[in-house]
Amino acid sequence: MCLAVPSKVIELKGEYAAEIEYLGNRRDVSITLVPDVKQGDWVLVHAGFALEIIDEQYAAESLKLWREMNDELAIT
Amino acid sequence: MTERILLAHGDGGVLSHQLITGVFHKYLGNNQLNQLNDAAIVKSEHGSLAITTDSFVVKPVFFPGGNIGKLAVVGTVNDLAVVGAVPKYLTAGFIIEEGMLISQLEEIVKTMAATAHEAGVQVIAGDTKVVERGSADLVYINTTGIGFVPEGRNLAYSRIEAGNVIIINGSIGDHGLTIMSQRAGLEFITSLKSDCAPLNMQIEVLLQEFGDDIKFMRDPTRGGVATTIKEIATASGYDMLLAEDNLPINEVVAGMADMLGLDPLYLANEGKFLMIANKIAAKKIVEKINKFPGCSKAAIIGDVKTGKGNVFLKTAFGGTKILDLLVGEPLPRIC
Amino acid sequence: MNWQLLKSFRNPQIVKELSVILDNRIALVTGKLGRPPVLMEVCGTHTMAFSKTGIRSIVRDKIVLKSGPGCPVCVTAQTDIDMMIELAKCPGVILTTFGDMMRVPGSYSNLLEERAKGADVRVVYSPLDALKIAREFPNHEVVFLGIGFETTVPIIAMSIKEAVKQSLKNFSLFSVHKAAAPVISVLIKDQTLNIDGFILPGHVSVVIGESGFSFMAEETDIPAVIAGFDPVDLLQGLIMIIEMIVEEKKGVGNQYTRLVKPEGNQVAQQAIRNYFTEVTAEWRGIGSIPGSGLVLKEEYAGLDACRKFSVQAPPARKVKGCLCGEIIKGKATPFQCSLFDKACSPVTPVGPCMVSVEGTCSAYYNYDRGGNW
């Protein structure tokens, strides 16, 4: 149900499609669910569609969180 | 057993095994056949002969990295090589679909000739049949291979011992995923290509150099590395422990597998051999393989332990999971 | 954004360090509860992810991790499979489906066996491929089997939009789509349910947002966390839910912030509203749940396979003894089911827990039947 991979938008192809790449594999997907997508964005791809744009800031924050938890644990 | 043949009966997994034991062994069974080895070895006063047969029905017939002709030679040559035989002769039977372009057939046969030459084997007998349009997916090929096993060489399940290690000569899943990615509807642009290649020359070098340190070999074709290792574990009665960290997987293969929800451990390989060897010789064996042209990813991927025929994978994250035989053909998933 | 950043969510070193943090939190919650915490993950893909990464085995003796009814494939009712099979048997029909459906058992057969008997059943990667087949074969009726929760429904909706745009007359959808929230609502209303915390489906949440699960704060004291699927996500999700249990917090936390917004993907939600309407749906092993099914709206009746074809499924054959309903709710284990490892196995699955390659029963079949490491 939730099998989806993060992929990079290589090239927008008109209003409705984009070429994405994941670890060297490229494919065209529909971007009708992410109308604001730009070239260079990373998106979640599921069944031939981009489902959402991945937020870089939140990604970095999520990783920062474990570092903080780690430091906290080291102190205790 | 199911009432009808399903595609899964040809995938090397659970259903294939059920079909083989439930139908073929039931009526044709004998000591040789029942061992399910890659090739049968027949002893005579002239020496030991190895014989194997394989049918090739791959679709599409042309794929990145090769075609059905190359596969037909490679598959049979490798089956002989992994039982320790020096492959010498092949027969080739063709079932050709009415309407196939002769230029396509020529391309395939040309490749077969080149591959046979590379492997040092000759096609010495053949047959051709033509069937009606719609019947053979362009062409099916059967090859039977004959090789000779040098005196004193004995690669067998019985030689496997606890403490041995499992070696593979390169990356896994390439062929299976290449074929999958060519299926109608998937339309990926990718650098994936089949790994199909004859291994007999390399295997002969290794057997001559490392002799008895090499206990057993199989080529992990349909069903993939996981299924093949499970078969070895079951037949030998030992447990096998694989380390995910050590599995050589090309990034593009991992990527495609992720996108389709497939596991490279269960996808076919056509240019790989699994080897069970003595631990002390293993590092040198791997180094030797990595010096062969085009090889750089050979690795020790697991250990043999006393057990009951289970196969475990230690994941890259420190967890463990059990690997069983393939159940059903690998299909692209959304779940 | 680059791959290095995203790849970090699969970094074994980070996972290792998170495991230490998790152990620390587990000690706290076990101390507080007097027993290991019981968590339920409600998503087939989470079930897979926990098994595939081996994280399930790492937490095995410290957390009781149950698999809930979140596999839309496995909970597809037997009668729905029977209907799909009847559609496949209609002359001239090309049945297109995601690969997941091929082995799900109907009353008498499955799609794989029907293909063997001559039905034209084709596996596709995307519903757009099914539209392509419809264009390629104008004299055949192409039926697409719509399965999946809200992760997939917007995609099907957009494909229907495309079908309308292309004026395709030979395409239709057989929808067994389901919504995730209603089944969770049923679970939490069960007074005998012994779950301390939920791990919610990450990609469903990408579409419906944190707000899609906000009902939980009102309907239960059991906390929940929306988690992603990479190993770091799984561990962070476990840490977060355990912290919520320790702090006696209720409501829904969000671990998957890089993709799940509070309001979700509004374009996707609108797409669902434009084309689908809610109905009562039958869940294998659970029964009927009102408002849990999604079918095409009346104005798209021409694209609804149920209305386009007048086929009737044969009378359903009930299999006695399947305990999936109880197992899914975490109230029984596979060993208590009389069919387990006898009539029901991965090769011949009966209920959803075995149909899913990584469902509870499948997992027990692989892990707990005499495997020690």
Axis-axis angle for helices B251-260, B174-181 (nearest 10): 50
pLDDT in tens, C7-35: 999 999 999 999 999 999 999 999 999 99
Answer yes or no: do B317 and C102 touch at CB < 8 A: no
B315–C54 C-beta distance less than 8 A: yes
Give the list of residues 6+ apart from residue A13 with CB closer than 8 angstroms, or none.
A19, A28
Kindly report the nearest CA distance between residue C54 and chain B, in angstroms.
4
pLDDT of residue C367: 60
The token duo for C63 is 């957390």
Task: Check if the beta carbon of residue C123 is closer than 8 Å to that of residue C98.
Answer: yes
User: CB distance A48–C202 less than 8 Å?
Assistant: no
What per-residue confidence (pLDDT) applies to B15?
85
Mutation choice for A interface testing from C98, C178, C259 by most A CBs within 10 A: C259
Give phi and psi for B33, each to the nearest 5.
Answer: -60, -40
C58 touches chain B (CB under 8 A): yes
Q: What is the pLDDT of residues B277-312, one digit of tens each?
A: 999 999 999 999 999 999 999 999 999 999 999 999
Average pLDDT over residues B254-266: 93
Q: Where in chain B is the domain with CATH 3.30.1330.10?
A: 41-149
pLDDT band at B185 (very low <50, low <70, confident <90, very high): low
Closest CB to C99: pick one of B4, B18, B331: B331
Residue C208 contacts residue C266 (beta carbons within 8 Å): no
- At C357, which amino acid appears? V
The CATH number for B157-323, chosen from 2.130.10.10, 1.10.3470.10, 3.90.650.10, 3.90.580.10, is 3.90.650.10
Q: Is C127 on the interface with A (CB under 8 A)?
A: yes
Q: Give SS3 for C233.
A: helix
Global ipTM: 0.95
What pLDDT is recorded for position B156? 94
Q: What is the pLDDT of residue C369?
A: 54
Q: What pLDDT is attached to residue C373?
A: 34
Residues 321-360 of chain C whose Cβ lies under 8 A from any Cβ of chain A:
none
CB contact under 8 A, C356 and B324: no
- Is the CB of residue C26 less than 8 Å from the CB of residue C37? yes
Structure tokens at B174: 């390439």
**A1 touching B, CB under 8 A?**
yes
Chain C CB contacts of A61 under 8 Å are 257
Pairing of strands A5-13, A17-22: antiparallel
C229 touches chain A (CB under 8 A): yes
Are B189 and A25 an interchain contact pair (Cβ–Cβ within 8 Å)? yes
Query: Is pLDDT at B328 greater than 80 in this prediction?
Result: no
Query: ∠ CA(B21), CA(B25), CA(B30), 5° rounding?
Result: 135
Q: Where in chain B is the domain with CATH 3.90.650.10?
A: 157-323
3-state DSSP call for residue C291?
A: strand
Q: CA of A28, closest CA in chain B: separation in Å?
A: 8
Burial C114-129 (b: 16+ CB within 10 A, else e): bbbeebbbbbbbbbbb
Give B-chain residues touching A24 at CB under 8 angstroms: 190-191, 251-252, 255
Reported as type and span, the H/E element at residue B214 is: strand B214-218
Among B18, B318, B328, select the one facing C103 at the smallest CB separation.
B328
Q: The tokens of B158 are what?
A: 């019985």
Q: Which residue of A has its CA nearest to B178?
A: A25
Reported CATH class of domain C10-318: alpha beta
| Domains observed in chain A | 5-75 (2.30.30.140)
Strands (E), chain C: 38-41, 64-67, 93-97, 120-123, 141-146, 171-175, 177-178, 197-200, 224-226, 252-254, 276-283, 287-296
**Strand B239-243 versus strand B311-314 pairing type:** parallel
Instruction: State which H helix or E strand residue B42 sits in.
Output: strand B40-44
Query: Given A30, A40, A69, which is nearest C158 (Cβ)?
Result: A30
**Which of B4, B186, B312, B321 is the best substitution to test chain C (most C C-beta atoms within 10 A)?**
B321
Query: Per 3-state DSSP, what percentage of chain B is helix, strand, and coil (rounded to 5)?
Result: 35, 25, 40
Integer-rounded Cα radius of gyration of chain A: 16
Q: Give pLDDT tens digits for B76-110.
A: 999 999 999 999 999 999 999 999 998 999 999 99
Cα–Cα distance measured from residue B19 to residue B17, given in angstroms and rounded to the nearest whole number? 5
Q: Closest approach of chain B CAs to the CA of C165, in angstroms?
A: 21
What is the structure's pLDDT at C370?
Answer: 46
Q: CA C179, CA B9: separation in Å to the nearest integer? A: 35
Average pLDDT, chain B: 92
Q: How does pLDDT run across A16-43, given as a tens digit for each residue?
A: 999 999 999 999 999 999 999 999 999 9
According to DSSP, the β-strands at C197-200 and A5-13 are unpaired
The Cα C163–Cα C183 span in angstroms is 31
Residue type, B202: Q
Chains that touch A (3 or more CB pairs under 8 A): B, C
What pLDDT, on a 0 to 100 scale, did the predictor assign at position A76?
60
pLDDT per position as a tens digit, B211-242: 999 999 999 999 999 999 999 999 999 999 99
Per-residue pLDDT band for B184 (boundaries 50, 70, 90) equals low
Contact status, residue C103 vs residue C112, Cβ threshold 8 Å? yes
Instruction: Closest CB to A24: pick one of B191, B333, B334.
Output: B191
d(CA C172, CA A61): 44
Select from B6, B324, B333 the Cβ nearest to the Cβ of C113.
B6
Residue in C with minimal Cα distance to B263: C52
Residue stretches of chain C with pLDDT short of 50: 370-373
| C130 contacts C96 by C-beta, under 8 angstroms | yes
* Residue A1 pLDDT class (50, 70, 90 cuts): low
User: Residues of CATH 3.40.50.11740 domain(s) within chain C?
Assistant: 10-318
pLDDT for C36: 96
Q: What is the DSSP string of chain A?
A: ----EEEEEEEEETTTEEEEEETTEEEEEE-TT-TT--TT-EEEEETTEEEEE--HHHHHHHHHHHHHHHHHHHH-
**pLDDT given at position C52:** 85
The CATH superfamily assigned to B41-149 is PurM-like, N-terminal domain (3.30.1330.10)
